[in-house]
Amino acid sequence: MYLKQQMIRLLSSRVTKHAAVFAITAIALAGCSLLPREEAVLQPPLIQPVQEKLDLVEVARGSIQTSLKGTATFISSNVKTLSFTESGGQIKSVSVALGEQVKAGDLLAELETDDLELQVRLQRLNVERVQLLYSEAVRDGASGTEKRLKEIDLEREQLSLQAMESRLKQSQLFSPIAGTVIFVDSIKTGDRVNAYQTIVTIADPSSMQLTYTASEAKDVLGVEAGMPVKLKYKGKEYAGKVLQSPSNAPVTTDEAKASSNAVTIVMAIGNPPSDIQIGHSADMIIELQKRENVIVLPRKAIRSYMGRSYVQVTDGERKKEVDVEVGLTTPTEVEIAKGLEEGQKVILNN
């Protein structure tokens, strides 16, 4: 019995081993099918390169016009700057305000003179009295020394009156013209002023001109006296003319004035409207140089590097750089004086 059980246990053990061997063999033959299956790696699709789209312009001939554009300001050509020229003093009164209209002869400002006005009035009476005495002596037949003494008295009083009146006149500022007050010094009664210190400036509005001041002297190169000017004031067009440019400005040793003249243009307006006021502005255009039948390109076609000007042109499927010589230039166009021929295709510099 014991032997029979041992035989059965041995046979079972062998069967189990054979079953295990069979299972392992089956798994191996199945290619490890019990593990997750890996997906096949796909090859990337072939992508065609994007064709570059060029912004081209064909080289052609045309015309180009340079001009100076800006805003001009109305000023008066007849401006009087007033000051006390003989001596300064203490301000008694200023009789005008900025923007006020004055007539020729109006009193604008005066200095304190104590009782000088009273002295002048009294001296005029003295002159009148001595004049009467002299006339009476002549009428009574005075001659020789007596007559001469009367003449001396009269002359002495007249000289004294002239000196007093001169002092009084020097202490007062009168407007030499009719016009508009465009400047008044910020002074008040009791303030002291110096000789030749500008107190009031008067401008005659009937003598209108326009001025344009450029930021740099090179901006007004080519502007000459006599050139026509297109003006637009309050939406209406007017014809004008250049009166003064840097090329014909007066020679001066004043550095500030010379610097101003180098960037300033003075213009006249034809048939000016009656409502123009000093300080108003008008749009202006002065046509300068014009060239016909030249090669003209958009400015954005020009490329620059370290002083070199060049363009890119198409050469079959390739790009090629071509050096060019630039002529007249406007804000939007440029003249090509050398380097290109008609028909070439230029790539714009976007």
Percent of the chain residues past pLDDT 90, beyond the cut: 57
Q: For residues 230 and 259, state if they share a domain.
A: yes
Tell me the per-residue pLDDT of 178-211, one tens digit each, with 9 for 90 and over: 999 999 999 989 999 999 999 999 999 888 999 9
pLDDT greater at residue 82 or residue 4: 82
Cα(231)–Cα(241) distance, rounded to whole angstroms?
Answer: 10
CB 325 within 8 A of CB 311: no
CB 74 within 8 A of CB 278: yes
Confidence of residue 15 (pLDDT cuts 50, 70, 90): very low
Q: For residues 130 and 120, state if they share a domain.
A: yes
Count the domains in the chain: 4
Instruction: Tell me phi and psi for residue 179, to 5 degrees.
Output: 175, -160
Structure-token pair, residue 208:
């209108």
Q: Could you tell me if residue 73 is left (phi over 0), alpha (psi between -120 and 50 degrees) or otherwise beta?
A: beta
Is 122 part of any domain?
yes
Q: Counting beta carbons within 10 angstroms of the beta carbon of residue 202, is it exposed (0 to 12), middle (13 to 18) or buried (19 or more)? A: buried
Confidence of residue 36 (pLDDT cuts 50, 70, 90): low
Q: For residues 285 and 209, state if they share a domain.
A: yes
Tell me the per-residue pLDDT of 66-97, one tens digit each, with 9 for 90 and over: 999 999 999 999 999 999 987 888 899 999 99
Is 24 part of any domain?
no
CB 344 within 8 A of CB 58: yes
Angle between helices 144-170 and 116-139 (to 10 degrees): 160
Q: Counting beta carbons within 10 angstroms of the beta carbon of residue 284, is it exposed (0 to 12), middle (13 to 18) or buried (19 or more)? A: buried
Last residue of a domain, which of 240, 261, 289? 289
SS (H, E, C) 25-90: HHHHHCCCCCCCCCCCCCCCCCCCCCCCCCCEEECCEEEEEEEEEEEEEEEECCEEEEECCCCCEE
Tell me which residue range forms the domain holding 88: 82-111+175-202
3 state DSSP class of 109: strand
What pLDDT score was predicted for residue 11? 46
Percent of the chain residues past pLDDT 70, beyond the cut: 85
Q: What is the CATH number of the domain that holds 282?
A: 2.40.30.170
User: Which residues, listed in sequence order, are joined to residue 265 by a DSSP beta bridge?
Assistant: 212
Is 101 part of any domain?
yes
